[in-house]
Chains A and B, each alone.
Chain A
Amino acid sequence: MGLFTFWKNKKKRPPKRPVSQLWEQLRQSSDFVEVSFRVGGKELSIYYFDSLVDPQLLQERILCHLQNDIPKHPDVRLEDLQQIVPIQRIEVSEDTALIEEKVLKGFVAVTFREQPNKAALMSAPADNLGLRENNDSENEFSVVGPKVGFIENIGVNLHLLRRQIAIPNLVFREMAIGSVSKTKVVVAYIDGVANPEVVQTVTQRLETIHFDVVFDNAILDQLLADNSRTPFPLFISTERIDRAVYALISGQVAVLCDGSPYAVIGPAALFDFFTSPEDYYLPWVLGSFFRLIRFFGVAFSVLASPVYVAVLTYHYEMIPEDLLGPIIYSRSNVPFPPVLEVLFLEITIELLREAGARLPTKVAQTLGIVGGIVIGQATVDAGLTSTILLIVVALAALASFTTPIFKMSNTIRFIRFPFILFAAGWGGVGIAFAVCWLLIHLGRLQSFGYPYLVPFYPLRFPHLNDTFIRSPYSQAAERPQFLRPRSRFRFDPKEAKQKRDIDE
């Protein structure tokens, strides 16, 4: 059995087989349970997976009622079980494939002797077994605001979304993806706000996905992407409820998947990745200020070490006299050219980060201190790097972590390296080349067919009020128009903008 056998299976569907054959196949596993008993002259069989079914539900809702109530109704048929068993949506089916799918998702199949090819499917899954109950959204932390995050159970996630969007227009469209995992994937959008074209693109792309196991939404994220050869994330993935709700009300579409505490949101623009929900919880002046700091952080993180390389390799005339002293002093013992020096330190920091992420939390802290302080100090003492560079690289690493979305901060750390190489090759002109290359690349990217650089290119003036600065709510009534939402305003702009005269 190869990894890609699902391709072949897909092409030639096995011919329709009887239900008994399915039971035969499932009996191979030890956790498959088959119970047959007689009640009131009826021969019943119950089939389920012990590992998937909640035993309490099974006993109290199914077995109990079957045993007590069937004797009262001697000619009950499978189709009538809904009247006896207090479980929602009992399905009766002859379709072996459907029975198989349901039993494998934690349903209990009940059959009667008289109707051997039919089964009543009752849902009794142990939904939360083995999953965590809550998520403090630690990976996208904010000091102010709710700390509830999505969890691995999609039912709970949908519940959390619906709690905040209490309008009938919120639509969940469900589908199963993955030839092996049959993962439940839900497309969420607000009907009448989200552009139907986007919804269609998303559903269409999801439907054409061929994959075996959907481990996480991140896999869907990659399979949905317009361009797979870019380091930039094309969709926001968030574990915060507020961010997902905000995206839905601005007309974006969210994709949730069972077993993943992340929602994938698109179409996303580059600037969406630098906004944090906290911007909206703080007063707009402060929110804007911190957002600007974040943008500065990104620019600094990408450009700091390349500029160091460029200036110290080619343009030392640019260093003013007063600054020249400290730089000469700190670099006089360093035997390497600036590029090697920078690459050495950058890679050290990447190593620290990677090791810190892979180790258990407690060890990681120690490692951070040992790596950061001891190695840093030692390299400077040994004359491998200059102190000034140590500051530059550490600050750049720090700045790259200000990005609220983890995927984007990874990207920023990655694109620094081509910049350093360009700077080493052609100095300041090289950095400009790299910037050009970045701009072209960003200009070519699309997210669900929408340009990535919006609202800068194509320029949308009204939407600029929520990019570099976060404008006050009275100015933010309009939804971002680049998403072509069906309805234009989030709330009535006139009431929000009403101004009172002095002393009135």
Chain B
Amino acid sequence: MKQPIPDRFLISPFFVFFVVHAIQIGVGALSFQRPLMKAVGQDAWMVVLLAGLAAHLFIWLMYRLLSRAPFGGDIVSLHQHYLGRWFGGLLSVGVMCYYLLAALTVLQSYIEIIKVWVFPLMGTWQFSLIFLALTYYAVLGGFRVVAGLCVWGVVIPLATIFPMLFFPLEYAQYRNLLPVFDHSFGQLVSASKEMTLQYLGFEMLLMYYPFVKNAPSSQKWAHAANGFTTFIYLVIILISIVFYNQEQIQHLTWPTLTLAKIPEVPFIERMEYIVISIYVLVVFPIITLSVWAATRVVKQLFAVQQRRSLPVLLVILFIGTLLLQEKADIERIGQWTAKLGLYLVAVYVPLLCISVWVVEKVKKTLQQKP
């Protein structure tokens, strides 16, 4: 029997809003328009809504699953309880690898943005090293510190970057939105796969669920966070649709950053530098929470202190950023993460949910029979 986590390490349910939202919005928010509009053009905003609804469903399923989890409350203990030590452990290792991969994707994509936009000549290793050193410092502080970072990662960008998005509306062509419903439902659904990486992030719940005080009551906040994420993506995509024409956007890798070039203030120009700088605060919580979740898996699985496993995982990430620097590599990692994440939340969690449900049913009937 594992000890429950002491009260002073827990966060209140309300903070799940910040944690879920901060992890969902990431580097993807800068670049998701191009593939989306390539697939469905001006109807892209429907895809954003559709994917948001799907994410709601998956969050709901995840809470169903986690509320059944025994004592530990996270996915590792769930695996051990229902799938046995070896098979369950193997799957937990898989989850850990996914978390690391997610951290690597975000780190790499952000460093790529820095290199393309700001410092073309500086080595990846410098940024990666600083990021990982800061991650080390943050994760040592425990989950509460990481969750605190998520709060700042939501509040500061929301106060600074978000208002900048509305400046381009000065040049908006609202007719770009027409014709509506130009694409079939099938097209929309297949395009919504492009939004996977953008909405992923709530799957970290599988690890930090036991760190939430009165966890089941946090579900509404998780849904609210997802709703807010949907809202922000919707704003971004609508502004992008009315500001760019469809030909133009196919030539931009990071349309959101180009949007940030538009605001004009008397004493400063090229706002995208500010956006990129502040984006450190958006990216950083994602990396920290992923690494924290990975160390937590290691702790639950192998009973290795998080303090010990943390440097090892960080070194792995550092080597990863050094080895995979080409744009093609980064894209491939991103696709893997998206695919893995999609399987995790859309296939694996529902399956697990059903099997847990079946197991419980069978147990109950067996108990009742004699």
Contact = CB atoms under 8 A, between A and B. Distances in A.
A311 to B, nearest CB: 9
Contacts of B298: none
Interface string A410-440: 0000000000000000111101110111011
Interface in B120-144: 122, 126-127, 130, 134, 137-138, 141, 144
Interface stretch (B39-47, B245-253, B273-281): B273-281
Interface string B133-163: 0100110010011001101100000000000
Interface stretch (A67-75, A214-222, A314-322, A352-360): A314-322
B114 interface: yes
Contacts of B149: 436, 439-440, 443
A459 interface: yes
B277 A432 contact: yes
B118 A428 contact: yes
Interface in A298-323: 314-315, 317-320, 322-323
A456 B114 contact: no
Nearest to A432: B280
Interface string B299-312: 00000000000000
B127 A426 contact: yes
A320 B267 CA distance: 6
B136 to A, nearest CB: 10
A433 B141 contact: no
Nearest to B274: A428
29 contacts: A315-B118, A317-B270, A317-B273, A318-B268, A318-B269, A319-B269, A322-B266, A426-B126, A427-B273, A428-B273, A429-B276, A429-B277, A429-B280, A432-B277, A433-B134, A435-B280, A436-B134, A436-B149, A437-B134, A439-B149, A440-B138, A443-B149, A444-B145, A453-B148, A457-B151, A457-B152, A458-B11, A458-B12, A459-B151
Contacts of A436: 134, 149, 280-281, 284
A34 B64 CA distance: 85
A427 B273 CA distance: 10
A498 B269 CA distance: 50
Which 7 A-B residue pairings sit nearest by Cβ, starting from the closest? A428-B277, A432-B280, A443-B148, A444-B141, A457-B148, A432-B277, A443-B145
B119 interface: yes
A441 B141 CA distance: 9
A317 B114 contact: no
Interface of A: 314-315, 317-320, 322-323, 426-429, 431-433, 435-437, 439-441, 443-444, 453, 456-459
Contacts of B151: 456-457, 459
B318 interface: no
B363 to A, nearest CB: 39
A429 B134 CA distance: 14
A317 B271 CA distance: 10
Contacts of A314: 118-119
Nearest to B285: A436
Contacts of A318: 268-270, 273
Given A459-B14, A459-B151, A432 B281 contact: yes
A99 B134 CA distance: 57
A314 to B, nearest CB: 7
A16 to B, nearest CB: 45
Contacts of B274: 428
A440 B134 CA distance: 8
Contacts of B137: 437, 440-441
Contacts of A427: 118-119, 273, 277
B145 A440 contact: yes
Contacts of A457: 148, 151-152
B209 interface: no
Given A426-B127, A443-B149, 15 more contacts: A318-B268, A319-B269, A320-B268, A426-B130, A427-B119, A428-B118, A428-B276, A429-B114, A429-B127, A432-B279, A432-B280, A435-B281, A440-B141, A440-B145, A459-B15
B118 A439 contact: no
A441 B274 CA distance: 23
Nearest to A449: B8
A30 B84 CA distance: 84
Contacts of B145: 440, 443-444
B55 to A, nearest CB: 24
Interface string B103-123: 000000000001000110010
Interface string B87-114: 0000000000000000000000000001
Contacts of A432: 277-281
A458 B119 CA distance: 36
A322 B267 CA distance: 9
A303 to B, nearest CB: 11
Nearest to A442: B148
A441 B137 CA distance: 8
Contacts of A459: 14-15, 151
B130 A433 contact: yes
A428 B273 CA distance: 7
Contacts of A440: 134, 137-138, 141, 145, 149
A443 B288 CA distance: 14
Contacts of B118: 314-315, 427-429
B159 to A, nearest CB: 12
A440 B127 CA distance: 18
Contacts of B276: 428-429
Contacts of A429: 114, 118-119, 127, 276-277, 280
Most chain B beta-carbon neighbours within 10 Å: one of A320, A436, A439: A436
Contacts of A456: 151
A73 to B, nearest CB: 64
B281 A320 contact: no
A314 B119 CA distance: 8
Contacts of B127: 426, 429
A422 to B, nearest CB: 9
Contacts of B268: 318-320
A318 B265 CA distance: 11
Contacts of B281: 432, 435-436, 439
Chain B CB within 10 Å, residue with most, of A314, A315, A431: A315
Nearest to B122: A426
A293 to B, nearest CB: 19
Most B C-beta atoms less than 10 A away, residue of A314, A428, A453: A428
Given A429-B114, A433-B134, A320 B278 contact: no
Contacts of A443: 138, 141, 144-145, 148-149
A432 B157 CA distance: 12
Contacts of A323: 267
A317 B280 CA distance: 20
A443 B148 CA distance: 7
A433 to B, nearest CB: 5
A427 B280 CA distance: 13
